[in-house]
Amino acid sequence: MEYAHPSLNQRSWLQRRDLYDWLYALALVAGAGIALVHYHSFMDVYDDIVLIIHVPVLIAMGWYWKPFRVFLAAVAAVALLSIWLYEGDLARAEEVFFLKYLVSSQTAIMWMSALYFIATGSYWLGLAARSEFAEKLASTLVWIGTVMGTAGLFVRWFESYLMGPEIGRIPISNLYEVFVLFSLITALMYLFYEQRYNTRKMGAFVMVVISAAVAFLLWYTFTRGAHEIQPLIPALQSYWMKVHVPTNFIGYGGFALAAMLGVACLLSERGILAGRLPPVRVMEDVMYKAIAIGFAFFTIATILGALWAAEAWGTYWQWDPKETWALIVWLNYAAWLHMRLTKGLRGPILSWWAVIGLGVTTFAFIGVNMFLSGLHSYGNL
């Protein structure tokens, strides 16, 4: 009897796609095509390129992580509902019930904030009481909150153009917007690992840092009116911002997630919450993967920032305080990965390192703008 080589019976990655995979891909291609047709006049060639590149990236993400496609569909539904309700008139935000209380950019982001706070409490309740129901509820709330926040950012983008074509811009240019972005990215990264490792027990710790970001966001909103859409300052009127900022915050999200898991590892190793948290080796594995992803994107963001600096200031690097601290952050996590991968370092040292690393990253992001002056001083609080 003849036997076929095992490789002949294995289907390729593309051949394993089912009907729903291809319908999802078709929907993304159609959506991008409609966006190009209807909004081309508001986009330059770089916007077109970024949009086109995002299509295969989002297709791959949806194929690899099935819940992501449902998330995107929900975001699109909420954002399109809001755009439809506006009817091209920004004043309707205070006149239409659903815009005023649910799907304008500010109300959607406030819903995100509330849901994240409630989810944090639910995760801790589930952890303390060993309640699977509370953990499932928390996970659901994070998903809904992330849909609302992401839709809120897209609607904010639309609202900026309703204010005038000269004001219209991608909403990632000030502290209010990037704190929303940070919260969403960190939440999505956590939800991916939650499903990947089939455990919701890490959520209590990860959601603490997200809730802290949301608390700052709310303080910044109510004390500074930061939610108001303002024209983009000249220093940020560059296509580089549209790629530099998101990649940077994927890095920050990975570092924040890893730091909170570092706290969980340290508590678990001391017998605190014993039996309630996943095994330390699982949390260490997620911590390593989050830092690896964060480091990769932070590296790309640093390179993009250097290219932006070369165009804006004529040089790639000037040892500006922001640049110097970005290098410190990069070296910190490069050393962390080196010690784990080549030296086999494990245990509390890496956990403490991840926690301290988040402090270094936070100073590089906010502290430099607060306490040091330089070319990036336009980012002051």
How confident is the model over 314-348, as pLDDT tens digits? Answer: 888 888 888 899 999 999 999 999 999 988 888 99
Give the number of C-alpha atoms closer than 13 A to the C-alpha of residue 233, restricted to the C-beta side: 10
Rounded CA separation 143/26 (Å): 24
**Integer Rg of the chain from CA:** 22
Domain assignment present for residue 343? The answer is: yes
Residue 367 pLDDT greater than 90, yes or no: no
| Residues 147/103, Cβ–Cβ less than 8 Å | no
pLDDT, residue 2, reads 46
Q: Smallest Cα–Cα separation from 29: which of 147, 21, 150?
A: 21
Name which of 9-18, 267-276, 286-295, 356-365 the model is least confident about. 9-18
Q: Which helix (H) or strand (E) holds 134?
A: helix 132-162
Residue 88 is encoded by which pair of tokens? Answer: 């091209």
Q: How far apart are CA 119 and CA 211, in angstroms?
A: 9
Q: Tell me, yes or no, whether 220 lies in a domain.
A: no
105 lies in some domain: no
- pLDDT of 380 > 60? The answer is no
Is residue 342 one of the residues assigned to a domain? yes
Average pLDDT over residues 200-224: 95
Tell me which residue range forms the domain holding 248: 239-381
Token pair recorded at residue 307: 């290219």
Q: What is the dihedral of CA 123, 129, 130, 132, to 10 degrees?
A: -60
Mean pLDDT value of segment 23-40:
92
Whether residue 17 lies inside any domain: the answer is no
pLDDT recorded at residue 218: 95
pLDDT at position 32: 93
Q: Is 70 a residue whose pLDDT tops 80?
A: yes
Give how far Cα 376 sits from Cα of 233, 238, 324, 379, Å. 12, 14, 12, 6
d(Cα 305, Cα 320) in Å, to the nearest integer? 12
- pTM exceeds 0.75: yes
Q: How confident is the model at residue 238 (pLDDT cuts 50, 70, 90)?
A: confident
Q: Tokens for 117, please give them.
A: 């706070």
Q: Is residue 257 part of a domain?
A: yes
User: 13-17, 32-36, 99-103, 124-128: which has the minimum mean pLDDT?
Assistant: 13-17
Q: Examine residue 115 and state whether it is found in any structural domain, yes or no.
A: no
Residue 154 counted as domain residue: no
Of the pLDDT bands very low, low, confident and very high (cuts 50, 70, 90), residue 161 is very high
Helix (H, G, I), strand (E, B) or coil at 10: coil
SS3 for 193?
Answer: helix
Number of domains in the chain: 1
